[in-house]
Structure 1
Amino acid sequence: MATYSDVWNLEVFFNGGSDSAEFAEHLIKTAELIESFQTKLNNWKSANSPKVSQYIYDLIANFEQTAKKLRQAGAFVGCLQAQNTDDKKVSSLKSKVTSLSAAFQTALSTFDDLLISIDDNSWLKLLEDSALNELSFVLTERRERAQDKLSKEEEALINTLGIDGYHSWGQLYDLIVGKIKIPFIENGEEKQLSVGQAFNKFSSPDRDVRKSIFEKWENAWSEQADYLTKTLNHLSGFRLSVYEKRGWQDVLKEPLTISRMKKETLEAMWKVISENKQPLINYLNRKAELLGIEKLSWFDLDAPLSKVETKISYQEGAEFMLNNFSQFGDKLASFARRAFEDEWIEGEDRPGKAPGGFCTFFPESNQSRIFMTYSGTPSNVSTLAHELGHGFHTFAMKGLHHLNRNYAMNVAETASTFAEMIVSDASVKNAKTDEEKLALLDDKIQRTVALLMNIHARFLFETRFYEERKHGSVSTETLNELMLAAQKEAYGDALEEYHPLFWASKLHFFITGVPFYNFPYTFGYLFSLGIYSLALKEGKDYEEKYIALLRDTAQMTVEDLAKKHLDVDLTQKDFWERAVQLCIDDIDEFLDLTK
């Protein structure tokens, strides 16, 4: 068995970490490119010039080069911050990258202004140019979105004010969370756990451990609640003010636009989920019986059924993933093997790391990096497979123009969930005993509960919170009440104790890049189930079709993507009902095994 490092290598990008002179130079070059881009835009004279197509093509080349440099910088800073939350210098670097991003967005506002200055007939002729034809979808999308916004000057002002306003609140959240320590006694010794380490304890087979850590968890977030309430209110207030100025009434307008998705599709998905909650509730009730309790509490949701804690070493987890990815397709397995061999993964279980997991891409180096805290649970294996799926999505788009690689979050979650499904299914099928099979099936259903219940609660909370926020600042007490009501509705009141401070502990509510960082996960999960069912039927022959779908994800709406590659209508309930039924099949098997 090969030995893989569980610590990533960032030195290949910029030597020296947060002290890197190379990175400082990279930021200077990025700033120069942004300035050059803005200067070219300012020199724009006439949309009717016979050389207009060449002029725009030159601007796009500058756009692409600048976007790659900025993305490279953002990925590096994000990795530095995640690997060591105590690195004081990262905060300064992140501020610099944020300022550069704002300057670039301001330049792009000018670029968008140029696009909308071109009349419709000239625009259609422009897109017939062979050099621009491949970008017709993304350029038309930019043009239409720009027509829906404020003037160039007003949008530039919003971007500038967002540096010390909007984005700073998101950075403040990171700062607060990085300082949170949760006490935990292990083998008679008190340890100070990071948020990420404490979260992993909710998978402990010992209910006393789970309950104890949950009490300390709630207390830790409660102590910071006043700061986090203010942070969330100002972040959302900034966003709502911008929406109001643009004349956007529906808070879902921006997230749906970003997701290239119709509201009818979202409503059809949630409707089917709401109509099929009972099997999920039946599962939760059966699990409570198996754990010997009357009703599950929030801290029991990730509890394993076996009292013996299953531990899978990092090396074992890696080999298991590689073996099963190869059953689906050679390219997925080859990509994953490179990620392990070339030290693309930060999985070490140590203090000082940020919570959660992510995959980020370094476009100038054409490499990904994956972050998580691997402590050996079956859930950790699934998380790592999930993040490798994200990386494979980026790999599948190799060779496409950078502007045609900007896929939305909902389809991004498709590739990750697909990879996760391969590993989860293989785990269940390879189980040596009924007890092991049951435990693995339970772990798989836990993710279904998370995506169809937990994410639903997040969506309900955020939708209602924004309606409240329109009328003024929302108190901590009201935030807790909104979250509690959302959780009870989403879980069918199947739990004994909930997590009213979940709004504080979940990073996704404080992310400034993408509003409503919730429903795309559920979309991606169910969408990938439809794709996965095809893969099961066709075997290895399906990989090329799968890659073709992934390559299209940034060049059409999700409805068109589904129609082209799956021949389904996402605005209707049929597709979602078939996808949810696959989840119910797992639950039926679980209930049958535990009669």
Structure 2
Amino acid sequence: MTYSLTWDLDSIFDGGVESEALKQRILLLDDQITEYQTLVTDWNPDTDKPEFKQFEIIMTVQEKVSNGLGQTFSFVNAIQSADVSNKEAGSLLAGLYTKHTGFQNAEVLLTKKLTSMPDATWSQLLETPIAKKQGVTFNLEETRHTGKRLLSEEEETIINQLSTDGFNAWSTHYDTIVANITIPFEEDGEVIELSVGQAFNKMMSSADSDTRKRLFDKWEEVWSQQAPLFADTLNHLDGYRLTNNKLHGITDHLQIPLEYNRMQEKTLTAMWDAIAANKQPFVDFLTRKANLFGKEKMEWQDQDAPVILGDFEEKRYTFNEAADFIIENFNNFSPKMADFAKMTFEKSWIEAEDRPGKRPGGYCTGFPESQESRIFMTYGESVNEVSTLAHELGHAYHSHVMWDLPAISQDYAMNVAETASTFAELIVSDATLKQASSTEEKINLLDIKIQNAIAMFMNIHARFIFENNYHEARKHKVLTDTEITDLMLEAQKESYKDSLESYHPHFWASKLHFYIDSVPFYNFPYTFGYLFSLGIYAHAAKQGKSFEDEYVALLRDTASMTTEELALKHLGIDLTKPDFWQAGIDIIIKDVNEFLELTKPYV
């Protein structure tokens, strides 16, 4: 089959940001938000009980607004991702943020009314048909619990309105800076200007050591030149977040990310403690890999470089080959998952073309009104990028199996979101290993698989340490770019056990995740999802295709219970204990040991 490298957005709104259908949908949003605000303002729980018919209408309109905002936000953001110079898209996003503020104001009032209900009235509400839909009771209880710390309606409205040109604006300001950054690189006697996405892909996956080194030096130089701008952005973004927390009586900066991910601090601590106790095998892996490159210690830019030994040539996958490979191997586990992936390729839901002007990174975004997803990435034909493609398809499949649920019960947290994506990635990485035809190829593929663990146990651990220390310091002062850089370097050295020859001090500036306003601590959920998916994968391997329906049931519950409850119900495990985390780490240590054994003759 031949598949398109560019996505189809016209089936969502024909005509891009100039789409008449998009303009009409945004205008309808204004009417729906106004209707929602009026309904919530006029609602009196005492006169609405016991049937709560008015509340049912409120929930119906709430879903329409939520889906409409999701549909338009996703579309405009997709346009801007594919062309960072599109100024009209940026303007539309700013307008949508303003509309979202109006929706948030009504949400605050509704939450306050739910929170102030007497227990007897609340019990009556939970017996209504709309509350008994899958997951809704849990989400309403969650809303009532977190709503107890809200300030007055007037104060919350002011905060929401100020966030448009404060909190949200600093986040989008980061995108504006990055859109104007290019990385100069000399190739074949000619200096070319690479977008940050192109430069990153080339730097981290090139088989040529000199190319990696020259690109990394330029990469660090460019981000360091802009460091004062990024320091301003990060200081104000997180300063706003910390102030907002303080106003709501929250002094622990981890409270909100833990609540958002519906997990206990005991679970997070158990996970990081298990990882910290098992660093040495991964240090040994990095050192061995450096030795294979003719170096004593690993350098930052070499971590994701391919290990190519003997006359082995790294396998390349065209986009079409990658699609067929993913579909085939998804089918070995789940025909439903394979059918979904096939449809995604056939309907051109993926933006994969390698061209200038695209933002870096990759993501999957949902269109709730169309009940479709779109995947964004810059595809480069390496085995790594086949895994990335599978990863994003995992996200899309997760949304796909939940579209029929109430919108409020589709709002799964980031940690479990990363479970489905990493699970899909594991299917593909194991499939490539099974097809290895030589020792050299197996070494190459083991390296690629272990790279993921290095990212989760070392790189992301460094991000968590940095962000934790940065937030603590930011409570007391505005930090200079030099101070932030020092915190980043210290975190990397701690996480990597001081095992690298060189580090990436300005990683804090180059990483988008630190500047996302919607989700604080955009790091530990990745590691959680990685290890959690290992547990699911091991369970699935024992049951084969019979686990398909159980897997779908688990995914459908991800927004309807706490993380600990989800694990206990579907896997029978206690996430607050070290055993589960150690079992997952042991799986990867086994791969590391095999890599070390196979590479002995080459050092």
TM over 0.5: yes
Q: Which of the numbers 583, 589, 594 marks the counterpart of 1:584?
A: 589
Corresponding position: 1:338 with 2:343: yes
Deviation at 1:185, TM superposition (A): 2.1
Take 1:131 and 1:242, find their aligned partners in 2: how far apart are those partners? 32
Q: Which of the numbers 247, 256, 259 marks the counterpart of 2:258?
A: 256
| Greater shift in the superposed pair: 260-269 or 22-31 | 22-31
Match runs of 1:266-285 below 5 Å? 266-285=268-287
Deviation at 1:445, TM superposition (A): 0.4
Per-residue CA deviations over 1:254-312 (Å, capped at 9, x if unaligned) read 10011000000000000000000001001001101111111111101011111745422
Amino acid at match of 1:436: E
Corresponding position: 1:567 with 2:569: no
- The answer to whether the 8 Å contact 2:80/2:89 transfers is yes
Amino acid at match of 1:86: S
The alignment's TM-score, normalised by the length of structure 2, stands at 0.97
SS in structure 2 of the partner of residue 141 of structure 1: helix
Corresponding position: 1:129 with 2:128: yes
Closer, same or farther: CA 46–318 of 1 in aligned 2, 3 Å:
closer
Deviation at 1:50, TM superposition (A): 3.0
Match runs of 1:122-161 below 5 Å? 122-134=121-133, 135-161=136-162
Corresponding position: 1:494 with 2:494: no
- The answer to whether the 8 Å contact 1:382/1:423 transfers is yes
| Greater shift in the superposed pair: 145-154 or 301-310 | 301-310
The alignment's TM-score, normalised by the length of structure 1, stands at 0.99
Take 2:213 and 2:79, find their aligned partners in 1: how far apart are those partners? 33
SS in structure 1 of the partner of residue 151 of structure 2: coil
- The answer to whether the 8 Å contact 2:462/2:495 transfers is yes
Take 1:350 and 1:519, find their aligned partners in 2: how far apart are those partners? 31
Per-residue CA deviations over 1:444-493 (Å, capped at 9, x if unaligned) read 10010001110000000000001110111011111111000000011111
SS in structure 1 of the partner of residue 366 of structure 2: strand
Q: Which of the numbers 390, 404, 412 marks the counterpart of 1:399?
A: 404
Corresponding position: 1:286 with 2:288: yes
SS in structure 2 of the partner of residue 474 of structure 1: coil
Amino acid at match of 1:72: Q
Take 2:361 and 2:325, find their aligned partners in 1: how far apart are those partners? 22
- The answer to whether the 8 Å contact 1:445/1:586 transfers is yes
Deviation at 1:132, TM superposition (A): 1.6
Deviation at 1:48, TM superposition (A): 5.0
Take 1:291 and 1:570, find their aligned partners in 2: how far apart are those partners? 39
- The answer to whether the 8 Å contact 1:197/1:355 transfers is yes
Number of aligned residues: 594
Take 2:350 and 2:439, find their aligned partners in 1: how far apart are those partners? 33
Amino acid at match of 1:403: I
Deviation at 1:157, TM superposition (A): 1.2
Question: Which residue of 1 is the match for residue 381 of structure 2?
Answer: 376
Question: Which residue of 2 is the match for residue 198 of structure 1?
Answer: 199
Question: Which residue of 2 is the match for residue 208 of structure 1?
Answer: 210
Q: Which of the numbers 388, 410, 418 marks the counterpart of 2:393?
A: 388
Question: Which residue of 1 is the match for residue 77 of structure 2?
Answer: 78
SS in structure 2 of the partner of residue 359 of structure 1: strand
Question: Which residue of 2 is the match for residue 168 of structure 1?
Answer: 169
Take 1:8 and 1:565, find their aligned partners in 2: how far apart are those partners? 35
| Greater shift in the superposed pair: 357-366 or 428-437 | 428-437
SS in structure 1 of the partner of residue 52 of structure 2: helix
Per-residue CA deviations over 1:212-237 (Å, capped at 9, x if unaligned) read 00011011101111110000000010
Deviation at 1:125, TM superposition (A): 2.1
Question: Which residue of 1 is the match for residue 63 of structure 2?
Answer: 64
- Root mean square deviation of aligned Cα: 1.1
Deviation at 1:345, TM superposition (A): 0.3
Amino acid at match of 1:448: A
- The answer to whether the 8 Å contact 1:205/1:309 transfers is no
SS in structure 1 of the partner of residue 130 of structure 2: helix
- The answer to whether the 8 Å contact 1:428/1:437 transfers is yes
Corresponding position: 1:417 with 2:418: no
Take 2:50 and 2:4, find their aligned partners in 1: how far apart are those partners? 53
What stretches of structure 1 of length at least 5 have no aligned partner? none
Q: Which of the numbers 349, 354, 358 marks the counterpart of 1:349?
A: 354
Amino acid at match of 1:548: A
Take 1:430 and 1:559, find their aligned partners in 2: how far apart are those partners? 36
Deviation at 1:151, TM superposition (A): 2.2
Per-residue CA deviations over 1:395-430 (Å, capped at 9, x if unaligned) read 111321111111000000000000000000101111
Corresponding position: 1:477 with 2:482: yes
Take 2:26 and 2:316, find their aligned partners in 1: how far apart are those partners? 43
- The answer to whether the 8 Å contact 2:326/2:428 transfers is yes
- The answer to whether the 8 Å contact 2:7/2:351 transfers is yes
Amino acid at match of 1:227: L
Amino acid at match of 2:258: L
Corresponding position: 1:521 with 2:526: yes
Amino acid at match of 1:252: L
Question: Which residue of 2 is the match for residue 38 of structure 1?
Answer: 37
What stretches of structure 2 of length at least 5 have no aligned partner? none
Deviation at 1:88, TM superposition (A): 1.4
Question: Which residue of 2 is the match for residue 454 of structure 1?
Answer: 459
Per-residue CA deviations over 1:26-62 (Å, capped at 9, x if unaligned) read 1111111011000111112343543562111110001
Take 2:382 and 2:222, find their aligned partners in 1: how far apart are those partners? 24
Q: Which of the numbers 289, 295, 302 marks the counterpart of 2:297?
A: 295
Amino acid at match of 1:240: L
Per-residue CA deviations over 1:114-168 (Å, capped at 9, x if unaligned) read 1112111211122112332221111111111111222222222111100000000
Question: Which residue of 2 is the match for residue 557 of structure 1?
Answer: 562
Amino acid at match of 1:190: V
Deviation at 1:179, TM superposition (A): 0.9
Take 2:532 and 2:45, find their aligned partners in 1: how far apart are those partners? 45
Take 1:268 and 1:582, find their aligned partners in 2: how far apart are those partners? 17
Per-residue CA deviations over 1:311-365 (Å, capped at 9, x if unaligned) read 2211111111111000001010001001100000000000000000000000111
Deviation at 1:8, TM superposition (A): 0.1
Per-residue CA deviations over 1:341-390 (Å, capped at 9, x if unaligned) read 00000000000000000000001111100000001111111110000000
- The answer to whether the 8 Å contact 1:47/1:117 transfers is no
- The answer to whether the 8 Å contact 1:254/1:515 transfers is yes
Question: Which residue of 1 is the match for residue 185 of structure 2?
Answer: 184
Percent identity for Structure 1 against Structure 2: 49
| Greater shift in the superposed pair: 178-187 or 263-272 | 178-187
Closer, same or farther: CA 49–323 of 1 in aligned 2, 3 Å:
closer
Amino acid at match of 2:155: E
Per-residue CA deviations over 1:150-204 (Å, capped at 9, x if unaligned) read 2222222111100000000000000101110001122333211011100011210
Take 1:153 and 1:527, find their aligned partners in 2: how far apart are those partners? 41
SS in structure 2 of the partner of residue 130 of structure 1: coil
- The answer to whether the 8 Å contact 2:74/2:366 transfers is yes
Q: Which of the numbers 320, 325, 329 marks the counterpart of 2:330?
A: 325
Take 2:563 and 2:52, find their aligned partners in 1: how far apart are those partners? 29
Take 1:46 and 1:521, find their aligned partners in 2: how far apart are those partners? 40
